[in-house]
Amino acid sequence: MTGKKRNSKVQPGNFMGPPTKVADSAYLSGSDPEIAGDGTDVIKSDGYLEPHRQYFGQRFAHFKRWVRDIELSEGGIDKFSRGYEDFGLHVTPQGVRYREWAPGAKEASLVGDFNSWDVNANKMTRNEFGVWECVVPNVNGKVAIPHGSHIKVSFVTGSGERVYRLPAWSTHVTQDLSKSPIYDSVFYNPPNKYKVKNTQRVVPPADLRIYEAHVGISSPEPRVATYKEFTRDVLPIICDLGYNCVQLMAVMEHAYYASFGYQVTSFFAPSSRYGSPDDLRELIDTAHGMGIVVFLDVVHSHACNNVEDGLNQFDGTDHCYFHEGGMGRHELWNSRLFNYGSHEVMRFLLSNLRYWVEEFGFDGFRFDGVTSMMYKHHGIAYGFSGDYNEYFTGNTDEDAIAYLMLANYMCHKLYPGFVTIAEDVSGMPTLCRAVPEGGVGFDYRLTMSIPDMWIKMLKEQKDEDWNMGHIAHQLTNRRYQERAITYCESHDQALVGDKTLAFWLMDKEMYTNMSDLTELTPVVERGMALHKMIRLVTMGLGGEGYLNFEGNEFGHPEWLDFPREGNGSSFHYARRQFNLIKDEMLRYKYLYRFDRAMHHLENQFHWLSSQDQWVTLKHEGDKVLAFERGHLLWVFNFHPTNSYTDYRIGCRWAGKYVPVLSTDDKEFLGQGRVDHSVEHFSTPLEWNGRPNYIQAYLPARTATVFKVVE
């Protein structure tokens, strides 16, 4: 706890040097036997890492110094990461206690509605570590600060200037745009807090099918939707489709709505534009009751540049939570960069993770901007070729990597089965290897090159020029023993300035020819067929988990653009038109049905967690791609015009093969050319390098999945 004196040998914010007069490796490892090694086990399965053995040893030693220092000064990472129970405002039997770390301030006071904003009414005292504290005594047995009161902390800076800031650990902040764009911190202490019904912690399944969603845009109406509306209207859709995970974006409070949630101002406050913190609790609790786990999009890669309602210049200095000078600023994002080598910054960030788990029940995290965190150049104007020297020879920010290792170590240690996902474009080796082995500790990385592949092909090539080998290579190009979440398109491809797959495929005809009352044009027929095939092959071959951004499953007809100065502050494109799937006269329902069928099939055969993936055929002339996974045989005929009768496909298993899913089924707006009643018996003759083969009808621009009855 902050009130306790740290071990005198431990200097806050300075852990890069060697351990203090201690050389015993057992001491460095702390009390956890899981991290008693030297961090080089990752080399055993990747010989190309051998030249970097010293690097991995040093990186792991750095991580273990943090574990040791946290144990010595704080009593362990469990207590250390509960800073949200100590900092900020808390109701106690004596009154409301407030604590804040602001080492650059000379004076501090808690002010607000409750004391008429009098800077002399509730002055704070400072300890030797720059932590300020005060207690606002109860009045006649009642909490001195009423629920809903507006509050701020007032500092006198080193230069003598009086400034006002929102408490860094604020759990509720609100914005009244009719008065000001600046957020206010609100004391949140409701008399009837939401009571969680599903109290048992949910462990995410091995086969993750993730529905990436933004609460604010989750309504057909041009406005900001709410947590309660998402709970009522969208969760049932996610459940019906068969997704087992919803990943929520833009939950951490951000002053500018158009930042998509990536310019965080208050890290402990759920965005109030969607409702109250209890409304978010209800959303997550309801999802758990449906068997759906909930992940949070965590933004610890940077922070908003705002001063009045953010962390920038919090105590009047240029640093505090951030590096000072140019090192503390991101050139492209116009934001501040955390000082991951600081003891109190580490407490703040690790406690932030614990807070979202303990207070709201999140089951996993998707870490945004991991590439920017891990490298001193932040990935700006840097092209990664895959050469291991790009990762381990001075480019990396070791403090940031130590933080990520600690974050993953903590989440997995305290919450067995918890899931962490990294957004990384660099391909950092060992990113998704366990921390005790010497890895960074993530469970999955996003396959960010796959949506780029699809967009590039749709933009630059005709169907008949698509290369089956290239598609198969891109979908299977994953690091050994490191799992990946695959996707065709995420929120990035939905943003204005880009186009969704549906738009690339069908463009303006989506506005004129998506009704069953109109003729099925060649453009729409091709677009609907390829939309299904691209999704199916990506989910089938591309990773160990699958992600879809809301609305894209049914071919949402418009891009995403938040209200901003450039569009007249319009909400027209900041919405998802779920009403389209309810209109039986429109063709969006066919894509919705196919997405649902695809997910329910995965729920039956669990290919995402299977270990038997094998690409059987890549025929460039015929444009046929076939592979085995999850005890299923997948066959794709991407040729735009050629259908094949009795096409021979090599297969592993002997037995009877029957179709279980076809993109050509009429319920998905196909032509119904694949007869599900036809049985295909294997012949014991080597073909395509497999011990057996079957012969099947492959209609043009169609995919069929077969199950085998041995």
Model confidence over 226-255: pLDDT tens digits? 999 999 999 999 999 999 999 999 999 999
Helix (H, G, I), strand (E, B) or coil at 108: strand
What topology does CATH give the domain 83-186? Immunoglobulin-like (2.60.40)
CA distance 694 to 698: 12
Tell me the average pLDDT across 581-602: 97
Neighbour tally for 180: CB within 10 Å: 11
Q: How confident is the model at residue 495 (pLDDT cuts 50, 70, 90)?
A: confident
Residues found in the chain: 710
Q: Write down the pLDDT at residue 228.
A: 98
Dihedral-angle region of residue 320 (phi above 0 means left; psi in -120 to 50 means alpha; beta otherwise): left
Model confidence over 355-374: pLDDT tens digits? 999 999 999 999 999 999 99
Q: How confident is the model at residue 9 (pLDDT cuts 50, 70, 90)?
A: very low
Which part of the chain has CATH 2.60.40.10? Answer: 83-186
Model confidence over 42-89: pLDDT tens digits? 999 999 999 999 999 999 999 999 999 999 999 999 999 999 999 999
pLDDT-above-90 percentage for the chain: 88
CB 659 within 8 A of CB 597: no
Q: Is the per-residue pLDDT at 16 higher than 50?
A: no
Q: Rg (Cα) of the chain, in Å, rounded?
A: 27
Neighbour tally for 258: CB within 10 Å: 15
Residues 515-538 as b/e (b if ≥16 CB within 10 A, e otherwise) read: eeeeeeeeebbebbbbbbbbbbbb
Q: Beta strands 208-214 and 545-549: pairing type?
A: parallel
Q: Beta strands 632-637 and 702-709: pairing type?
A: antiparallel
The DSSP string of 354-373 is: HHHHHHH---EEEETTHHHH
Q: Is the per-residue pLDDT at 7 higher than 50?
A: no
CA distance 270 to 266: 8
Model confidence over 152-203: pLDDT tens digits? 999 999 999 999 999 999 999 999 988 898 999 999 999 999 999 999 989 9
What pTM does this model have? 0.94
Q: Could you list the active site residues? A: 368, 423
Helix (H, G, I), strand (E, B) or coil at 269: strand
CB 482 within 8 A of CB 432: yes
CA distance 489 to 552: 8
Which part of the chain has CATH 2.60.40.1180? Answer: 610-709
CB 639 within 8 A of CB 464: yes
Which part of the chain has CATH 3.20.20.80? Answer: 208-308+356-607
Tell me the average pLDDT across 331-338: 96
Q: How far is CA 583 from CA 177, 586, 590, in A?
A: 36, 6, 11
Q: How confident is the model at residue 30 (pLDDT cuts 50, 70, 90)?
A: low
Tell me the average pLDDT across 336-341: 98
CA distance 343 to 320: 11
Report domain 208-308+356-607's class: alpha beta
What token pair was written down for 321? Answer: 């939570």
Q: Write down the pLDDT at residue 14.
A: 29
- The DSSP secondary-structure symbol of 85 reads G
- Max Cα separation, the chain? 89
Q: Is the per-residue pLDDT at 12 higher than 60?
A: no
Q: Is the per-residue pLDDT at 21 higher than 70?
A: no
CA distance 151 to 96: 12
Model confidence over 72-85: pLDDT tens digits? 999 999 999 999 99
- Which superfamily does 610-709 belong to? Golgi alpha-mannosidase II (2.60.40.1180)
Q: Beta strands 264-270 and 632-637: pairing type?
A: unpaired
Q: How confident is the model at residue 10 (pLDDT cuts 50, 70, 90)?
A: very low
Q: Write down the pLDDT at residue 213.
A: 97
Mean pLDDT of the chain: 93
Instruction: Look at the alpha carbons of 65, 66, 69, 70 in this order and tell me if their dihedral is positive or negative.
Output: negative
Model confidence over 258-317: pLDDT tens digits? 999 999 999 999 999 999 999 999 999 999 999 999 999 999 999 999 999 999 999 999
Q: How confident is the model at residue 444 (pLDDT cuts 50, 70, 90)?
A: very high
The DSSP string of 541-582 is: HS-SEEEEETTGGGT-SS-B----GGGTT--TTSS--THHHH
Cα 255 from chain centroid (whole Å): 20
